[in-house]
């Protein structure tokens, strides 16, 4: 295939974020329009609805703000994204920073107080372990 990247769907105008908000990066749209990127949302692939309560990583689990354990959804979503990348031979990903799935440099600290710490999301971690280069959207748009 000609796909070079997988890219977080919420960067491309898809309403898949926990809060249902959408935004579009011009650069992301360009990649899609040129057939260079495949859009994915690990949380939707993992069976989560839109909107949904926000989740944060706490230790080796992912918990939502109502204290429900959503770890399995995040793991299933990550595996599905990896399978898609492998199926198309894609070796690079542009993912949304700060997300508990897609973050690649920073995530929230698990206190739901909007406090960032260095870290990576569940999907980013699995992709990196499997040799896929994950780029933060914040670096890509520079
Ligand atoms: Fe989906 Fe990742 Fe965007 Fe969250 S950051 S809405 S998991 S694509």
For the Cβ of 41 lying below 6 angstroms from any atom of ligand 1, the answer is yes
Query: What is each CA distance from 134 to 20, 53, 54, 67, 112, in whole angstroms?
Result: 24, 26, 23, 29, 25
Which ligand 1 atom is nearest residue 96's CA? Answer: 5
At 23 the pLDDT is 79
Q: What is the pLDDT of residues 12-23, one digit of tens each?
A: 989 999 999 887
| ipTM > 0.95 (yes/no) | yes
To test the pocket of ligand 1, the residue of 9, 23, 57 to mutate (highest count of ligand atoms within 8 Å of its CB) is: 9
Q: Is 101 helix (H, G, I), strand (E, B) or coil?
A: coil
Tens digit of each residue's pLDDT (9 = 90 or more) over 57-113: 999 999 999 999 999 999 999 999 999 999 999 999 999 999 999 999 999 999 999
Ligand 1 centre and the CA of 123: distance in Å? 10
Please, what sign has the CA dihedral across residues 94, 20, 46, 3? negative
3-class SS at 114?
A: coil
- pLDDT greater than 60 at residue 1: no
pTM to 2 decimal places: 0.97
């Amino acid at each position: 295939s000609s796909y070079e990247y997988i890219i977080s769907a919420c960067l491309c105008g898809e309403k898949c974020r926990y809060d249902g908000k959408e935004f579009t990066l011009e650069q992301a749209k360009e990649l899609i329009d040129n057939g260079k990127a495949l859009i994915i949302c690990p949380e939707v692939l993992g069976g989560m609805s839109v909107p949904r309560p926000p989740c944060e990583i706490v230790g080796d689990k992912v918990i939502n703000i109502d204290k429900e354990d959503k770890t399995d959804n995040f793991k299933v979503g990550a595996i599905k994204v990896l399978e898609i990348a492998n199926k198309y031979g894609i070796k690079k990903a542009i993912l949304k920073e700060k997300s508990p799935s897609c973050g690649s440099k920073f995530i929230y600290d698990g206190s739901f107080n909007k406090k960032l710490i260095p870290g990576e999301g569940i999907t980013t971690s699995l992709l990196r372990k499997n040799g896929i280069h994950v780029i933060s959207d914040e670096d890509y748009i520079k």
